[in-house]
Amino acid sequence: MIPPRVRFAPSPTGDLHVGGVRAALFNWLYARRHGGTFVLRVEDTDRERSTPESTALILEGMSWLGMTPDEGPFFQSERGDLYRARLTQLLDMGGAYRCWCTKDDLDAKRAEAERRKSRYGYDGTCRGVTEAPSPGAPFVVRAKLPQDGEVLIDDMVKGRVVLRNDQFDDFILARQDGSPVYNFTVVVDDIDMGITHVVRGDDHLNNTPKQVHLYRLLGADLPRFAHLPMVHGPDGKKLSKRHGAASILAFREMGYLPETMLSFLARLGWSHGDQEEFTVEELQTLFDLDGINPAAAVFDHKKLEWMNGRRMREMSTPELLARARPFIERAQIDPDLPWVPRALEALQPRANTLAALAEGLSLFAGRGPVAYDAKAAAKFLKAESRALLTELAAALEATRPFAAAAIEETVRTFLATRELKMKHIGQPARVALVGGTASPSLFDVMEIFGRDVTLARLRAAAAWSGPEA
């Protein structure tokens, strides 16, 4: 196989979101799999809607995921000379023509088509016209398309799509101000950059026949096309903010791991047997365009969260600490405090994101008196807890070492001699220690706080609990 040349061609008009990243990923993986080249081209010809901020977000999102382009980023805004040269070439060859129809003329024709309930398409008025109606009259440039016959697209995902040429009108290549339009620049660039496979969202499928005609007019070979199915939410509707975050950097902020994102995004429309999770290396050796499912892919946030948590649970404590460091700092906790690794270990079984992990650490950040959640305190710090908490504190005075296993033994013996169960002391002690009812294992919590804080907090909660009946 000739090494493929593929590209990701985002328009910098907003965030880089899930559908776009998935297109980037499939291109990148295809290039990696077949020893090809991944080109990044920023399609910023729409001056009104393109912003440098958006370009920066796209580049940052890609670099977070490790999708480094082999060539580029190229910017269409810097390639005007090439587009002008190709436009002149098409005009000279008769593949395009100047159109002086005014907006009013066209609006009237469109309104008439609407009135007759027929499809509007440019009627070719200027096809044979070579002279401007008046000197310097503004014009657009239109492609001169065949009016009969068919165009065949042999899509690698959708299969064969045949469209009749009489369904397409002579579309605009350059506006009155000379600025070229997407369907033109995309083809000029794909030809110029030697793109062999155009892999993109199927929202572009209706542009493809126009682009196929331009390849012909420009005398270039067609690339292969692969149009990716849309990404839907679990309700079957197009993925949007309503379904939760859709911008890739929002996932970084929430503490998802880039490797989880890659594995998860790859499975949006692609499969390899029934394997659910992949390392980046596996993706780079297994991915292929023929594994793409033409049906819409479903983005399931819950599954992503679960996958992320699972990956976090596979990490050693030093690795987890290294990955969570920026999140811990953001939670205003010093990651180098001595209790942090032990607390991470305790939180690891339940945290599904790095942000949740850092948030969990805040349970241990304060060592003074703890504020009780009113509801939890009312429910669990009752009169009958008073003696129990005091006696538990006394029993823990002698525990050596003050570590989870020994603490657990002390607590179990304490309960057994009183014929009580864990449920009698679990929640009161938890509220005493962290102020609420959610925390990692009680024994871990005690170990992390150490004896002094543990005893002080148990006793403070005992004092807070109502007097004995």
Site string for ligand GLU, 201-220 (x = CB under 6 A): ---x----------------
Select 155 or 447, whichever has its Cβ closest to ligand GLU: 155
Give me the least distance between CB of 203 and ligand GLU, in Å please.
Answer: 7
Q: From the candidates 238, 241, 302, 382, which is the catalytic residue? A: 241
Give me the least distance between CB of 19 and ligand GLU, in Å please.
Answer: 9
Which residue, chain included where needed, has tokens 């600025």? Answer: 179
Among 4, 5, 10, 364, binds ligand GLU (CB under 6 A): 10
Select 10 or 269, whichever has its Cβ closest to ligand GLU: 10
Quote the CA–CA distance of 76 and 42 in Å, as a whole number.
6
| Binding segment (CB under 6 A) for ligand GLU, from list 3-11, 45-53, 93-101, 455-463 | 3-11
3-state percent breakdown (helix, strand, coil) of the chain, nearest 5 = 50, 10, 40
Select 45 or 353, whichever has its Cβ closest to ligand GLU: 45
Report residue 437 CA to chain centroid gap. 33
Quote the CA–CA distance of 280 and 329 in Å, as a whole number.
28
Site string for ligand GLU, 354-393 (x = CB under 6 A): ----------------------------------------
Quote the CA–CA distance of 94 and 86 in Å, as a whole number.
12
| Binding segment (CB under 6 A) for ligand GLU, from list 4-12, 29-37, 88-96, 140-148 | 4-12
Number of H helices, E strands in the chain: 18, 12
CB 42, CB 74: distance < 8 Å? yes
**CB hemisphere CA count around 166 (13 angstroms):** 2
Among 17, 34, 200, 227, binds ligand GLU (CB under 6 A): 200
**By CB under 6 A, residue 11 contacts ligand GLU:** yes
**By CB under 6 A, residue 189 contacts ligand GLU:** no
**By CB under 6 A, residue 9 contacts ligand GLU:** yes
Query: Listing from the earlier edge strand, what are the strands of the sheet with 37-42?
Result: 71-75, 37-42, 5-8, 197-201, 224-228
Give me the least distance between CB of 270 and ligand GLU, in Å please.
Answer: 18
* Three-state secondary structure call for residue 99: strand
Select 185 or 353, whichever has its Cβ closest to ligand GLU: 185
Give me the least distance between CB of 199 and ligand GLU, in Å please.
Answer: 8
β-bridge pairing 297-298 and 231-232? parallel
Site string for ligand GLU, 37-66 (x = CB under 6 A): ------x-----------------------
Respond yes or no: is residue 103 known to be catalytic.
no
How is residue 3 annotated by DSSP? P
Query: Which amino acid is located at 33 in the chain?
Result: R
Query: Which amino acid is located at 7 in the chain?
Result: R
CB 184, CB 217: distance < 8 Å? no
Select 209 or 360, whichever has its Cβ closest to ligand GLU: 209
Among 62, 143, 186, 346, binds ligand GLU (CB under 6 A): 186
Give me the least distance between CB of 222 and ligand GLU, in Å please.
Answer: 14
228 forms beta bridges with 201
Give me the least distance between CB of 171 and ligand GLU, in Å please.
Answer: 15
**By CB under 6 A, residue 229 contacts ligand GLU:** no
DSSP codes, 110-165:
HHHHHHTT-------TTTT--S-SSTT---EEEE---SSSEEEEEETTTEEEEEEG
Give me the least distance between CB of 10 and ligand GLU, in Å please.
Answer: 5
Active site (catalytic) residues: 241
Contact positions vs ligand GLU (CB under 6 A): 9-11, 43, 186, 200, 204
